[in-house]
Amino acid sequence: MTHEEFEGKAFDGLKLYFQCWNTDEPQKGIICLAHGLGEHSGRYTEWATWLNQAGYSVLAFDLRGHGKSEGQRGHISSFNDYLEDTGLLLHEADDKFPGIPHFLYGHSLGAIITWTYVLRHKPLIAGVVLTALDYRNSLEEQRVKVWISKILGVLAPKITISSGLDPQSISRDPAVVTAYINDPLVHGQLTLGFAKSSMDAIAWANQHTHEWDLPVLVMHGELDTLGYVIGSQEFASRVKGDCTLKIWPGLYHEVHNEPEKAQVFEYLHDWLDKHSHVE
């Protein structure tokens, strides 16, 4: 495995941090990864190492306002900012890894971005992996907060609030939780503009999910309290083509960081191989 770090320039001039884990094995495909809210791509180093050992290179970036990328923490002016940045991720993959299968892999917020990007831009790729597609969550029950976000998200979009994410809910592995809490690149912030833009994007994607036309693996921890499993189930029920839904009994939000992660990886590995046309 070789590791590469580089800088990409977004459509609006913002500097985005990219990193790539290159496999030393015969190349089966390239995984383009989008992480979740408040975290960063560096938290996927172990996952990328496992994928490298299975013959897949991994290209990831820190979302704007996250990790080592520029931008106000947890803020976007429009959800289209994320979609343009995802287009840049795929462009970098095309340049670095021509002629092999490309996959988009989104976790949590990254899953919502990937979901929306695929529906809007119809990329010509081999498939998609969505984990913890958390558009159904506890925010739905907080009607006042939703109303405030919709109003103030227009009037005062850069006001920052806490994401309210409980680190104990990401994994049942205490070491993962401790590392998350002590990670200086992790933050618990979002802005009202982010909240409104995300809600609008989810509403649009929900209306267009029946147009989905790529192979997709959807995985969700059964006991995920950050994003309810029903969201992944609803998404999968609306996809008419090649869609595999895997609910992991007893697992929390980050199925790739749970004690059963080796089982999760083998399931992912098998799906990728089938969709990379590996015999």
For residue 264 the two structure tokens come to 């999760």
Active site residue 253: yes
How far, in Å, CA of 84 to CA of 95, rounded? 17
Residue 26: CATH number of its domain: 3.40.50.1820
Active site residue 232: no
- Rg of the chain over all Cα atoms, to the nearest angstrom: 17
Query: What is the model's pLDDT at position 160?
Result: 82
Active site residue 224: yes
For residue 81 the two structure tokens come to 């900012």
For residue 260 the two structure tokens come to 């059963």
Instruction: Out of 66, 102, 253, 256, pick the active-site residue.
Output: 253
Instruction: Out of 81, 85, 134, 224, pick the active-site residue.
Output: 224
Q: Which residues contact 67 (CB under 8 A, 6 or more apart)?
A: 17, 35, 39, 40, 41, 42, 185
Instruction: Out of 108, 149, 171, 198, pick the active-site residue.
Output: 108
User: Would you say 54 and 46 are in contact if contact means Cβ atoms under 8 Å apart?
Assistant: no
Query: What is the domain extent for residue 115?
Result: 2-275
**pLDDT tens for the 279 residues of the chain, in order:** 899 999 999 999 999 999 999 999 999 999 999 999 999 999 999 999 999 999 999 999 999 999 999 999 999 999 999 999 999 999 999 999 999 999 999 999 999 999 999 999 999 999 999 999 988 766 555 555 555 666 555 556 788 877 878 999 999 999 999 999 999 999 999 898 898 899 899 999 999 999 999 999 999 999 999 999 999 999 999 999 999 999 999 999 999 999 999 999 999 999 999 999 854
Residue type, 4: E
Query: What is the model's pLDDT at position 279?
Result: 45
Torsion of CA 108, 111, 112, 114, to 10 degrees: 160
Q: How many domains does one find in the chain?
A: 1
